[in-house]
A and B are shown apart, each in its own frame.
Chain A
């Protein structure tokens, strides 16, 4: 039982390049989330998927797209990377979006955009 797995762990992009961050969970969770963490800013929600087949914007969705590929996998795509997207990205999952259902996080993808 690996929990939430994110790939890659590290990535360097040039401005304008595109890439997809992958996330998979093996806990049979229904809801999945993408956050970014910047120094002094805490975690901010980018997008979430309450259940398979649905996605919704979070606090900071601009410049990102997501795909809930199936129940296990939720990917985050940067179409044209910008230096402002340099951050650590965390994927999380929970059994449901209910407040009583804890989120479990992966160990992050560290992205640098030059």
Chain B
């Protein structure tokens, strides 16, 4: 599966949109982009995933560039409870029994 590159840390003001970037320049055509987050001492929480098109759900939006080499997770109105480590993961269609979490981006929402 393709590797991803994320900034180590980011801050965001409470109530503002948090935009978390991810680079996955070696992604192949049949690999999905996933986002998870992990709040201290809890299990990873699924946020959203996509293949080619932008996606939106009740938690976030996922914007994937046309060449699919990068993506951005958008939390539209960040709250203090969104403070967590966010992981961008690329996962293949078949034989996809593993998720490589890497080190992620530590997002701190500031009051």
Q: A43-B101, A99-B31, A102-B34 are in contact. Are A90 and B44 (CB under 8 A)?
A: yes
Partner of B100, one of A42, A99, A100: A42
A67 and B43 alpha carbons, distance in the complex (Å): 21
Interface 0/1 of B60-82, CB less than 8 Å to A? 00000000000000000000000
Contact B42 A99 (CB under 8 A): no
Interface 0/1 of B30-52, CB less than 8 Å to A? 11101000000111111001010
B37 to chain A, nearest CB (A): 11
Contact A102 B46 (CB under 8 A): yes
Closest Cβ neighbor of B93 among chain A residues: A99
Q: A43-B99, A45-B98 are in contact. Are A103 and B51 (CB under 8 A)?
A: no
Confirm or deny: B8 has a beta carbon within 8 angstroms of a beta carbon on chain A.
Answer: no
Confirm or deny: B102 has a beta carbon within 8 angstroms of a beta carbon on chain A.
Answer: yes
Closest Cβ neighbor of B43 among chain A residues: A105
Total number of B residues with any Cβ neighbor in A under 8 Å? 24
Q: Which residues of B contact A90 (CB under 8 A)?
A: 43-44
A79 to chain B, nearest CB (A): 23
Closest Cβ neighbor of B103 among chain A residues: A42
Q: Which residues of B contact A45 (CB under 8 A)?
A: 97-99
Closest Cβ neighbor of B96 among chain A residues: A99
Q: Which residues of B contact A92 (CB under 8 A)?
A: 43-44
A102 and B51 alpha carbons, distance in the complex (Å): 13
Confirm or deny: B92 has a beta carbon within 8 angstroms of a beta carbon on chain A.
Answer: yes
Q: A98-B93, A102-B34 are in contact. Are A108 and B102 (CB under 8 A)?
A: no
Contact B92 A99 (CB under 8 A): yes
Interface 0/1 of A82-108, CB less than 8 Å to B? 000000001010000111101111111
Q: A98-B93, A100-B51, A102-B34 are in contact. Are A107 and B99 (CB under 8 A)?
A: no
Confirm or deny: A66 has a beta carbon within 8 angstroms of a beta carbon on chain B.
Answer: no
Closest Cβ neighbor of A48 among chain B residues: B97
Confirm or deny: A50 has a beta carbon within 8 angstroms of a beta carbon on chain B.
Answer: yes
A interface residues, Cβ below 8 angstroms from B: 4, 33, 42-43, 45, 48, 50, 56, 58-59, 90, 92, 97-100, 102-108
